[in-house]
Chains A and B, each alone.
Chain A
Amino acid sequence: VVKGSTSLTVVVFLSHRLSKATGKMVENSPSPLPERAIYGFVLFLSSQFGFILYLVWAFIPESWLNYIGLTYWPQKYWALAVPVYLLITIVIGYVLLFGMNMLSTCPLNSVNTITDNYAKSQQRKKYQEEAVPALRDVCISEVNQMFFLEAKELSTNN
């Protein structure tokens, strides 16, 4: 394990030196850095240790743990209860997210289906000939007239 970690950090150091030599900016890039390699390895080791500890706590009988001297550990009931609670929370989270979506949908008689603060306070740019018009929020009356009143002439021409 130690050999693997040293070779990994050597590889990361070399790639970091190479990218610095070519003059690239590495502050905000997602490329591997020595610090990131160390963080990742620490996380890996601690998660493995946590898992082994959880297995030890769940499987070794209480009397053996007391014999070693570890008397004040939580009840083994929690070794089953916590994973079950976590899974049920995830399932309820799906249902809750759907429910919150339904709650925050505007009712049909709300003004938010027509306009909002940004559309009300937008500035009108001057119309220039031969130029593409500026992007703006079109009033719903105009949109309706374009879709439903003029479509008759277009469809009868076709």
Chain B
Amino acid sequence: MENEQSFSDICGGRLALQRRYYSPSCREFCLSSPRLSLRSLTVVTSTVWLAAYGLFTVCENSVVLSAAIFITLLGLLGYLHFVKIDQETLLIIDSLGIQMTSSYASGKESTTFIEMDKVKDVIINEAIYMKVIYYLCILLKDPVEPHEISQVVPVFQSAKPRLDCLIEVYRSCQEILAHQKAPSTSPQAHQKAPSTSPSIQKASIVSRGK
């Protein structure tokens, strides 16, 4: 089952989220940013070349012009290969792990895989970046102390979607993680529930009511 939806990122640009549900225990989320636009490319190139021409009229050295051409070409190639990420994918497979792929504009792909044993939870966290932003991250367990968080791995770092997109991805991931947690921990969950959930639900009802 495939589903495509349009969202926006924290700067206001357009993003496309594609969801593929391969099976009840395997889902993929693909966030695509818009490609490098011709307009921004011409703007940057013309400013660099105009500045180089201005420098050339001041210092009468033609090396400046050829240096500007080289810098523009190399800068564009480096940007496409190392900086511009076109698509970010999150593949979550129940009982196997989570895989994150970033594909760059030049075609390069970089992949990270995290085993399900190491994953504690997938959450939406708030942090200060230049303003306060929400971002999805994977919490990894500490091998020594299973209830402690050893590492935080943020996902969709270059696409930076807004909260509505993150909530969709979060709910899908939680459904899969719930399958994974439910069979092994159900007796403990029943014991813990009376102590924490009524207080939390009371608090939530009070806050929503106000």
Q: List A contacts of B125 (CB < 8 A).
A: 113-114, 140
Contact flags A134-150 to B (C-beta < 8 A → 1, else 0): 00001011101110111
Q: Is A82 among interface residues, defined by CB-CB distance under 8 A? A: no
Question: How many whole Å from B159's CB to the nearest CB in chain A?
Answer: 14
A154, B196: Cα distance in complex, Å: 19
Q: Is A3 among interface residues, defined by CB-CB distance under 8 A? A: no
Judge whether A108 and B127 touch: CB under 8 Å.
yes
A142, B193: Cα distance in complex, Å: 12
Q: Is B124 among interface residues, defined by CB-CB distance under 8 A? A: yes
Contact flags B142-157 to A (C-beta < 8 A → 1, else 0): 0000001111111001
A115, B127: Cα distance in complex, Å: 12
Q: List A contacts of B124 (CB < 8 A).
A: 144, 148
Q: Is the interface of A mostly helix, strand, loop or mixed?
A: helix
Judge whether A108 and B139 touch: CB under 8 Å.
no
Judge whether B121 and A141 touch: CB under 8 Å.
yes
Judge whether B152 and A111 touch: CB under 8 Å.
yes
Contact of A111 among B128, B150, B196, B200 (CB under 8 A): B150
* CB contact list, A103-146 vs B, under 8 A: 105-106, 108-111, 113-115, 120, 127, 133, 138, 140-142, 144-146
Judge whether B199 and A127 touch: CB under 8 Å.
yes
Which residue among A109, A115, A138 has the maximum number of chain B CB atoms within 10 Å of its CB? Answer: A109
A146, B154: Cα distance in complex, Å: 21
Some 14 contacts from A to B, beta carbons below 8 A apart, are: A108-B127, A108-B135, A108-B152, A111-B151, A111-B152, A114-B152, A127-B195, A138-B200, A140-B123, A141-B121, A142-B196, A144-B124, A146-B204, A148-B170
Which residues of A approach B to under 8 Å, CB–CB? 105-106, 108-111, 113-115, 120, 127, 133, 138, 140-142, 144-146, 148-150, 152, 154
* 9 A-B pairs with least C-beta separation: A133-B199, A127-B195, A113-B127, A141-B121, A144-B123, A108-B154, A109-B152, A148-B167, A140-B123
